[in-house]
Amino acid sequence: MPRAINKLSQLTVAKTTKPGLYADGGNLYLQITSAGVKSWLFRYMRKGKPRGMGLGPVHTIGLAEARALALTCRRQLLDDIDPIDAREAKRKAETTAAADEISFQHCAEKYIEAHRTGWKNAKHADQWTNTLTTYAYPIFDSRSVAAIDTTLVMKVLEPIWATKTETASRLRGRIESVLDWATVRGYRTGENPARLKGHLDTLLPKRSRVQKVTHHPALPYADLSAFMPKLRAQEGTAARALEVLILTATRTNEVIGATWSEFDLDEGVWTIPAERMKMRKEHRVPRSARAIALVKMQQEVKRGDYVFPGRRDKSPLSNMAMLQLLERMKRDDITVHGFRSTFRDWAGETTHYPREVCEAALAHGIKDKAEAAYARGDLFVKRAALMQDWANFCA
């Protein structure tokens, strides 16, 4: 009568090369892949479903050791313990024990380093570090990331939630992200104590009740006729950059970071690459006649790759240059970014262009995901007409 267990021999294990499963008995199998890799497999049924647990490669785990491991698995099954679940639980326990030595600060630094290259603005890493260093690290101290709970998170947020609401809100999101990262890494388990929806929103007042919404001060579009001649009378790169920003309804960073390679002056198109856009989507800006003329004026004083260079040829204009220009013009009552609101108010109140055309001119994303899925075009032709009308109004 053939043996029901210990069927294989050392010689059989060594010489067998054909891909397949070879039973040793007692749920233990020699597994050979199509690539010729040999390993041990423990196969069993659990709640009516087949499961397979790898025990290791043949070159590391010998036949005797594989039989011993299979025996342990069979004993676990007799005790109604799933061997795979037991192994996973052991690994998690070991990881959690090791995490006792891993602090929240360590995880935060690793998170920032991992995401640094993905952030479109290099300042984001500094902002993350500064807010966490100022508010979170002193409270969390050297505690392990696994020990961070709701009480500690609230101790960080409560003192500044009402007085520095925007900072507190961003700080909460950053803590939540770090804790999520730590959970995925296996350094902590359970719910995220920094989660807002269904958790902290029951403990903290709504932002709308404690934070006054403030908008960028904007120039009323009716005052543009008086403002634009004064702007055009100003000398320097900042004045030309600000006029281009107004005529294109773009953002500060998009203008000062503009390079010559982005412009097709013959076609009258400025293509801003996705990595420089807030929505991470390439944006084609139709240029009005005046905007094209301004860029051509910059060609006459061209130095370096930037259309609006700073004091050094290889660096762009400072992001404060246009704001400082407004201050010199005695217009510290408005902001550079506010000109986008000026354009939007003019377009919405004095023209018949559809809302989606006006929003596309500002490179705003579509919040409705279903609508966004079907909005494949960029309405360029209609936007070209809109921007020329805007330039005529500004003139």
Among the CATH numbers 3.30.160.390, 1.10.20.60, 3.50.50.60, 1.10.760.10, which is that of 10-98? 3.30.160.390
Structure tokens at 221: 């579009």
pLDDT at 325: 94
350, pLDDT greater than 70: yes
Please state, in angstroms and rounded to a whole number, the distance separating the CA atoms of residues 118 and 120: 6
CB 321 within 8 A of CB 245: no
Total-model pTM? 0.54
User: For the segment 17-52, what is each residue's pLDDT rounded down to a tens digit?
Assistant: 999 999 999 999 999 999 999 999 999 999 889 999
Band (pLDDT 50/70/90 cuts) for residue 163 is confident
CB 269 within 8 A of CB 349: no
* CATH code given to domain 221-394: 1.10.443.10
User: For the segment 49-71, what is each residue's pLDDT rounded down to a tens digit?
Assistant: 999 999 999 999 999 999 999 99
- Which fold would CATH assign to domain 104-210? DNA polymerase; domain 1 (1.10.150)
Q: Which alpha helices (H) appear in 28-122, and where do they start and end?
A: 63-78, 83-99, 104-115
80, pLDDT greater than 50: yes
Domain range list for the chain:
10-98, 104-210, 221-394
pLDDT at 66: 93
Q: Is the dihedral of CA 326, 329, 332, 334 positive or negative?
A: negative
How many percent of the chain have pLDDT more than 70?
A: 91
Average pLDDT for the chain: 88
User: For the segment 86-106, what is each residue's pLDDT rounded down to a tens digit?
Assistant: 999 888 777 666 656 789 999
Q: What is the mean pLDDT of residues 244-261?
A: 93
User: For the segment 358-385, what is each residue's pLDDT rounded down to a tens digit?
Assistant: 999 998 865 544 444 434 467 899 999 9
pLDDT at 319: 84
The amino acid present at 12, given as its one-letter code, is T
Q: What is the mean pLDDT of residues 219-242?
A: 94
Show Cβ contacts of residue 333 under 8 Å, excluding neighbours closer than 6 positions. 217
pLDDT at 212: 54
Structure tokens at 79: 């005790």
pLDDT at 326: 93
Provide the b/e sequence for 54-69 (b: ≥16 CB within 10 Å). ebeebeebebeebbeb
Name the most confidently modeled range: 215-229, 233-247, 290-304, 352-366.
Answer: 233-247
194, pLDDT greater than 90: yes
pLDDT at 216: 62
Q: How many CB atoms lie within 10 A of CB 18?
A: 7
Strand order in the sheet with 28-32: 20-25, 28-32, 38-46, 49-57
- Residues 385, 391, 392, 393: what is their CA dihedral angle, to the nearest 10 degrees? 110
150, pLDDT greater than 80: yes
22 beta partners: 30
